[in-house]
Structure 1
Amino acid sequence: MMTNNVYKADLGTSLPEESPLEMPRHKVQEERQPAKKLFNQPLISIFLARLFVFCVTVYLSWYGATEMFAVLNTNSIAGMQWAFLVLFCINFTWISFAFSQAALGFFSQINPFRRKIKEADPETVTAILLPVYNEDPIRIRASMEAMYNDLVEKAPGKFAFFILSDSNKAHSAVKEKQTFYPILNNDTDKCPVYYRRRYNNAERKAGNIADWVTRFGGAYESMIVLDADSLMSADCLITLSRRMAAEPNMGLIQTLPTIIEANTLYSRLQQFANQCFGPIYAAGLSAWHGSASNFWGHNAIIRTKAFASACGLPILSGKPPFGGHVMSHDFMEAAMLRRAGWGVRFDNDLQASHEEAPPSLIDVMVRDRRWCQGNLQHKAFLFAKGFHFATRLHIISGIFAYLSAVFWFLLIAVGFALALQAHFVRPEYFANPSLFPTWPVFDFEKARLLFEISMALILAPKVFGWLSAMINLRRCREFGGPIFLTINSLLEIVLSAMYAPILMFSQFLVVFDVLKGRDSGWSAQSRDDGATPLKTVCRAHLSHTILGAGLAASTLYLSPQLFYWSLPISFGLTFSIPLSWLSGGAKRGNLLSALGFLKSSQEKRPTPIVKRLHDAQQQLDRIDTQDGLSALHRMTQDEHFYRWHLAQMPEEDLATLSRPRICAEWQIKMNDSLDDLVKNIKEEECLAILKSRSLMEAMGKYLPDKAA
């Protein structure tokens, strides 16, 4: 267990000696560098995997297009029918592409001849970076202690933790330091822990990582980037560093994070889908990506010098949402590494790489707003010079992940318009001069068959995941056996189908919002149980409910058959308020677990690293009993902590002469008691105190012994 010794922490600093590394900013348009030679690159299998995905996607897309043309082909196709055909082809191609990757993944999973990946002992210490942004530091310290204790046992002296804070709220910043400072610089020979908080949050997480690279990156050959909710076992961390050491021309290796700690209905749905169906998709992606894979921003190892030389992100012309700093930096960092000749690989075989999921539907919608803007911003790179064709596919997939909602919505709208036209507009039997009438023909049998094929393509990846787990006895037992695996798979399919139209319409509105020019900003991700007041849920889903009820009523009026066909869409939208309310809340989610449904294997038999996390959480939950205290109360109630914080500040005063700083200085002079100061001071003035050495020294008059 980490030493909790405030006196020892008080004597040291929170950071090691700096080792600068240059990180030049690149342009959107640059020449591609020759690909570096890689040892573990099975070129034939990668080529065959890409050929398989291409051929299956093209064949299914062509089949869907020709069949839909036959469905709509009366004696001539009208304008609205052409629109329906085009939209159908776009959507059918998208689901065909997803199906082809899942099919490839299924065949890869059952392949008994898997290539062994080369490993070697790294010669230097590997840095583990934990970016933080207004998060709960108790939870972060628990996961970090779990990893720390595991590493000290299995790889002492091989890793170092860096907690990189970008928190811009006074209370969050002080609580972080108060939580982390007792463990900083302890056991430096085995696994040191460092902490750095930026005063300037430029370029968000990308800027946070870049700041570390330019200040400390020269001392570390590789860095493992985590998220605030990441958890990785020592075995996984060690294997990552060994694989990176064995491939001197590899720039990045991405793991497959599995979702854990889900305790709500919606997070349990994501957790089950991730653990049951996710490995199929991952195996397919890994097979055709080869050395031109992608980066998801966390749970990956990166060669530091390669990152510094290749990944200085450009600043896009124009204003947000399409201009300015690159939001979804991870995609482009992988792309720029590949453009510079470095390999980027997705190793989906590594175990015990974990993350957590958003707790509720509303939390997913909030996250989608930021992700949508970042992905749509990538249009600036789509046709840029120098990028690998696989990179362009990653960019297209990221953009289409949100544009697909627009095309599905438009397809439904045009289909509904065609139904209205058929009901209210009299057919023109003699539209063209002829002795014989032109009879309207709609091939319902072909339409039904095409609908069934479309549903089969959508559900096939889930069937592949279920079948893969069924034939793997160990995995089947982890899901509770074949009966619970089957029931939970069906439950996930049904509930996901209910939530799908809500997400579709939400993403449609999000894309429209971005296209209007609205910037999403930067907000911390919710990590509580997602229990949302009913009033908030009603306000968030009022438009969904109105749309769903209107669609149901209209289709019922037009035709009972049309009503039943549209029920999978109208039902979810109409009941979006109760469905969204049920999606969050630990009590509702844990009730399912108590009944044995959507239960994770980690709940019954947690792996050692997850057990370590639970033990650390139980111990640390007793540490913080001061949630009601202000940031300044926290700062001055413990003199050891106050002196330590003051020791970390630079000699020169970094605070420029600003209004908040001047006002904060005046407030400290005028208020004799800390309670009065807290009552009168503003948030920006409090932040000015935390980054000004002279103001922090002036706060010394509020220390307990001075106040007495």
Structure 2
Amino acid sequence: MVETKMMTPQERLALPHEAPLDMPRHAVNEPRQKAKKLVKPFLLRTLLARLCVISITLGLTWYGATEMYAVLNTNAIAGLQWAFLVLFCINFTWISFAFSQASIGFLCRLWPFSRKVKEAEPEGVTAILLPVYNEDPIRIRASIEAMHDDLLEKAPGKFAFFILSDSNRSDACIKEKHTFYPLLNHEDQGCPIYYRRRHNNNERKAGNIAEWVTRFGARYESMIVLDADSLMSADCLISLSRRMAAEPGLGLIQTLPTIIKANTLYSRIQQFANQCFGPVYASGLAAWHGTASNFWGHNAIIRTKAFAEACGLPILEGKAPFGGHVMSHDFMEAAMLRRAGWGVRFDMDLEASYEEAPPSLIDVMVRDRRWCQGNLQHKAFLLAQDFHFATRVHLFSGIFSYLSAVFWFLLIAVGFALAVQAHFVRPEYFSNPSLFPTWPVFDFQKALLLFELSMALVLAPKVYGWLSALLYPKRCMSFGGPILLTLDTLLEVALSALYAPILMFSQFLVVFDVLKGRDSGWKPQSRDDGATPWKTVARAHLSHTLLGAGLASAALFLSPALFYWSLPITIGLVFSIPLSWLSGGEKRGNILSKFMLLRASQEKRPTGIVKRLNEKQAQAIEDDSSATQPALQRFIKDVNFYHWYLAQLPQEEENTLCRSRICAQWQIEKSANLEQLTEHLQESECLAILKHKSLMLAMGKYLPQA
């Protein structure tokens, strides 16, 4: 065995000295704490916005309910008609709520006076946390390098990066360590970059962040939490830290992430909607949220002390999917911060806060499965003690964002049942003793007007976004001018209409799956181009196709008019397989870009940080010469890397029994070379080598001899 060389403390440490911070676990029901002192210059505007949202939602719902009652029967209403009326009112309330927020947001966008936000210079260093879970480290390294270089130029000594790995696959663990190893440093006067991997990833991302807080949180006043695909400019990071420093009563500031680097059809649809329609809706949210806003889990700054004090999440009673650890932790962390008296604010005026979108429809469906379980789990908190009114609205909105698919599906089912009933069942004209018959009445004119109103409410946020961009020449030109902006808007509306029923039915199945008690597990987010083989797509969407074909056939049999009315629903379902296949794949997605359609401003004129990311990513891919090597060979090919990794492993307890460890040790001793070892190692044994220092020392026998 080759003797390990002596290393300096600088070489040994991948982390700074620990600064523990206590983070107690809280219960579901706890009393509200006294609110911290907050600057509230726009309190009246927040109250007016909330009043407008409530008034518009209730007013439209009442009008829709009375009109639908008149549509169904002017004399009497019973049976399936009552079910249809109730389901219609539930769905109409949901779209009215969305319309009211978009309307408030549109008015805020037209308001000529911008809000002045207080800023102050922070005293200490702000931590930037980047949780990683079996991700492609090449992309993450490029993002870190781009942000790191930007911060070195504009704010040296003010920030520190922490790569917090929860990866649990041996190849991912080794690759990310090998990729990040050259970046790590202790340059306190510049911008240090640290790396830590947990061997036990309890509570997933929430536990990952909490573990960092309890080990290092006392050293840093604030922490900026990013996702693996996040990117923020130095100016945005600096503004976040200054705004947090200026408001001692704030616990969290959420930014509005802009989607970039979309290269597939579906991600381009999301990117355009995010950049064109998103600011309008976000302005409405910010207007009525006030200092009781929400947290989306990334691209936000959090006061470390407040987070440790308030955000120790409870463990829910029972088993998954509704019990156990809280999955959608971000909503609850914002809720618990607010209950502890800390302000939570949504500052959507900050620019250069970026993220990426899922590349395909199937990737969205996979993500929805996890999000659905997390949101439905929030039912345990909906009526919990002393949560803020806005918090309860956030939680209810998150739950209903998935239950709405169930109610839409039930509305369609009951509507078809009414059509079947009208076709096969003879109406009873004298069901009640009377000299005059009771004629079944269906007011077609009112039904048409109500349908048009519903479509107007659904499309209004998109019209607001289009108009908002059109009114500002600079923003309009970023979309290619008024003609391309209009074409892109129409294309997005058409494509979204095709994909909407597919998503609706898939979310209906997801909710049903969760209610059956199935746990979603924890899968990494897809970051590739989402290209999926036909066989996989067909298997995923066979039920959608059969449902669409069945509905279309039934509608055509019952009435040609019903067939045409149901086309917005059935056509997307019938063609769900080719639509899903087209949604992913870089080659297919970039065809639109060649025709100047659904192109983002960052493609033609990227901002400085995005341009820097593109350059770093191209360079990182070119430098990754070891990508095809087996995982363990990366240690042996790079002796310095081997010694650095060995220095990070803690001293292990003696006499610890572990089957994988014992098997791995035996194979290391008996294998003549590394190729023979890797040929027979199982995944659990490879992970044991990465975890135990004694096994990694034994691997030294394969190092090149001096």
TM-score under structure 1 length normalisation: 0.98
| Matched residue SS, 2:632 | helix
Offset, 1:627: 2.6
Offset, 1:294: 0.1
Report if aligned partners of 1:129, 1:225 keep a CA contact under 8 Å in 2. Answer: yes
Offset, 1:654: 8.7
CA RMSD of aligned residues (A): 1.2
Q: In the alignment, residue 131 of structure 1 is paired with which amino acid?
A: P
Residue 567 of structure 1 pairs with residue 567 of structure 2: yes
Q: In the alignment, residue 273 of structure 2 is paired with which amino acid?
A: A
Instruction: Please give the alpha-carbon distance, in whole angstroms, between the structure 1 residues aligned to 2:681 and 2:104.
Output: 60
Residue 112 of structure 1 pairs with residue 100 of structure 2: no
Cα deviations by residue, 1:170-197 (Å, 9 ceiling, x for unpaired): 0000101101111111533210000000
| Matched residue SS, 1:621 | helix
In structure 2, the CA distance between the partners of 1:682 and 1:654, relative to structure 1 (3 Å rule), is farther
Instruction: Please give the alpha-carbon distance, in whole angstroms, between the structure 2 residues aligned to 1:669 and 1:78.
Output: 79
Cα deviations by residue, 1:596-645 (Å, 9 ceiling, x for unpaired): 00000000000000001011012111121223322211222211100000
Q: In the alignment, residue 182 of structure 1 is paired with which amino acid?
A: P
- Spell out the pairing of 1:641-660 with structure 2 (5 A cutoff): 641-653=641-653, 656-660=656-660
Corresponding residue for residue 419 of structure 1? 419
Cα deviations by residue, 1:515-561 (Å, 9 ceiling, x for unpaired): 00000000000000000000000000000000001111110111010
Offset, 1:651: 2.3
Instruction: Please give the alpha-carbon distance, in whole angstroms, between the structure 1 residues aligned to 2:249 and 2:124.
Output: 16
| Matched residue SS, 1:308 | helix
Cα deviations by residue, 1:581-604 (Å, 9 ceiling, x for unpaired): 000000011110011000000000
Corresponding residue for residue 325 of structure 1? 325
- Spell out the pairing of 1:322-471 with structure 2 (5 A cutoff): 322-471=322-471
Deviating more after overlay: 697-706 vs 650-659: 650-659
In structure 2, the CA distance between the partners of 1:9 and 1:533, relative to structure 1 (3 Å rule), is farther
Offset, 1:386: 1.2
Report if aligned partners of 1:268, 1:589 keep a CA contact under 8 Å in 2. Answer: yes
Q: In the alignment, residue 66 of structure 1 is paired with which amino acid?
A: T
Report if aligned partners of 1:655, 1:692 keep a CA contact under 8 Å in 2. Answer: no
Instruction: Please give the alpha-carbon distance, in whole angstroms, between the structure 2 residues aligned to 1:592 and 1:635.
Output: 44
Instruction: Please give the alpha-carbon distance, in whole angstroms, between the structure 1 residues aligned to 2:116 and 2:338.
Output: 23
Report if aligned partners of 2:37, 2:248 keep a CA contact under 8 Å in 1. Answer: no
Instruction: Please give the alpha-carbon distance, in whole angstroms, between the structure 2 residues aligned to 1:177 and 1:358.
Output: 25
Offset, 1:9: 10
Corresponding residue for residue 691 of structure 1? 691
Cα deviations by residue, 1:377-431 (Å, 9 ceiling, x for unpaired): 0000000001000000000000000000000000000000000000011111111
Instruction: Please give the alpha-carbon distance, in whole angstroms, between the structure 2 residues aligned to 1:11 and 1:285.
Output: 47
- Spell out the pairing of 1:20-39 with structure 2 (5 A cutoff): 20-39=20-39
| Matched residue SS, 1:129 | strand
| Matched residue SS, 1:418 | helix
- How many residue pairs align between the two structures? 700
- Spell out the pairing of 1:441-590 with structure 2 (5 A cutoff): 441-590=441-590
Instruction: Please give the alpha-carbon distance, in whole angstroms, between the structure 2 residues aligned to 1:149 and 1:375.
Output: 37
Corresponding residue for residue 137 of structure 1? 137
Runs of 4+, deviation exceeding 6 Å: 7-10
Deviating more after overlay: 648-657 vs 330-339: 648-657
Corresponding residue for residue 162 of structure 2? 162
Residue 286 of structure 1 pairs with residue 286 of structure 2: yes
Instruction: Please give the alpha-carbon distance, in whole angstroms, between the structure 1 residues aligned to 2:63 and 2:656.
Output: 66
Q: In the alignment, residue 535 of structure 2 is paired with which amino acid?
A: K
Q: In the alignment, residue 260 of structure 1 is paired with which amino acid?
A: I
Corresponding residue for residue 217 of structure 1? 217
Offset, 1:76: 1.3
- Spell out the pairing of 1:1-150 with structure 2 (5 A cutoff): 11-150=11-150
In structure 2, the CA distance between the partners of 1:410 and 1:656, relative to structure 1 (3 Å rule), is farther
In structure 2, the CA distance between the partners of 1:126 and 1:420, relative to structure 1 (3 Å rule), is same
Cα deviations by residue, 1:443-490 (Å, 9 ceiling, x for unpaired): 000000000000000000000000000001111000000000000000
Offset, 1:79: 1.3
Q: In the alignment, residue 153 of structure 2 is paired with which amino acid?
A: E
Offset, 1:433: 1.4
Instruction: Please give the alpha-carbon distance, in whole angstroms, between the structure 2 residues aligned to 1:629 and 1:230.
Output: 28
Deviating more after overlay: 653-662 vs 227-236: 653-662
Q: In the alignment, residue 487 of structure 2 is paired with which amino acid?
A: I
Report if aligned partners of 1:10, 1:641 keep a CA contact under 8 Å in 2. Answer: no
In structure 2, the CA distance between the partners of 1:457 and 1:364, relative to structure 1 (3 Å rule), is same
Instruction: Please give the alpha-carbon distance, in whole angstroms, between the structure 2 residues aligned to 1:532 and 1:187.
Output: 44
Report if aligned partners of 1:9, 1:181 keep a CA contact under 8 Å in 2. Answer: no
Q: In the alignment, residue 585 of structure 1 is paired with which amino acid?
A: G
Corresponding residue for residue 702 of structure 1? 702
Q: In the alignment, residue 267 of structure 2 is paired with which amino acid?
A: S
Cα deviations by residue, 1:12-49 (Å, 9 ceiling, x for unpaired): 41100000000000000000112112114421111001
In structure 2, the CA distance between the partners of 1:655 and 1:141, relative to structure 1 (3 Å rule), is farther
Q: In the alignment, residue 375 of structure 2 is paired with which amino acid?
A: N
Instruction: Please give the alpha-carbon distance, in whole angstroms, between the structure 2 residues aligned to 1:149 and 1:622.
Output: 19
Q: In the alignment, residue 518 of structure 1 is paired with which amino acid?
A: R
Corresponding residue for residue 3 of structure 1? none
Q: In the alignment, residue 154 of structure 2 is paired with which amino acid?
A: K
Instruction: Please give the alpha-carbon distance, in whole angstroms, between the structure 1 residues aligned to 2:174 and 2:163.
Output: 14
Offset, 1:704: 2.5
Report if aligned partners of 2:73, 2:440 keep a CA contact under 8 Å in 1. Answer: no
In structure 2, the CA distance between the partners of 1:665 and 1:147, relative to structure 1 (3 Å rule), is same
Cα deviations by residue, 1:555-591 (Å, 9 ceiling, x for unpaired): 0111010000000000000000000000000001111
| Matched residue SS, 1:616 | helix
Cα deviations by residue, 1:297-324 (Å, 9 ceiling, x for unpaired): 0000000000000000000000000000
| Matched residue SS, 1:25 | coil
Instruction: Please give the alpha-carbon distance, in whole angstroms, between the structure 1 residues aligned to 2:680 and 2:653.
Output: 24
Report if aligned partners of 1:655, 1:661 keep a CA contact under 8 Å in 2. Answer: no
Q: In the alignment, residue 274 of structure 1 is paired with which amino acid?
A: N
Residue 296 of structure 1 pairs with residue 296 of structure 2: yes
Deviating more after overlay: 74-83 vs 84-93: 74-83
Corresponding residue for residue 4 of structure 1? none
Corresponding residue for residue 176 of structure 1? 176
Instruction: Please give the alpha-carbon distance, in whole angstroms, between the structure 2 residues aligned to 1:195 and 1:9.
Output: 15
Report if aligned partners of 1:291, 1:345 keep a CA contact under 8 Å in 2. Answer: yes
Deviating more after overlay: 621-630 vs 592-601: 621-630
Report if aligned partners of 1:10, 1:644 keep a CA contact under 8 Å in 2. Answer: no
Identity of aligned residues (%): 74
Cα deviations by residue, 1:94-137 (Å, 9 ceiling, x for unpaired): 00000000000000011012220100000000000000000000
Q: In the alignment, residue 63 of structure 1 is paired with which amino acid?
A: Y
| Matched residue SS, 2:622 | coil
| Matched residue SS, 1:104 | helix
Instruction: Please give the alpha-carbon distance, in whole angstroms, between the structure 2 residues aligned to 1:435 and 1:656.
Output: 91
Instruction: Please give the alpha-carbon distance, in whole angstroms, between the structure 1 residues aligned to 2:703 and 2:627.
Output: 19
TM-score under structure 2 length normalisation: 0.98
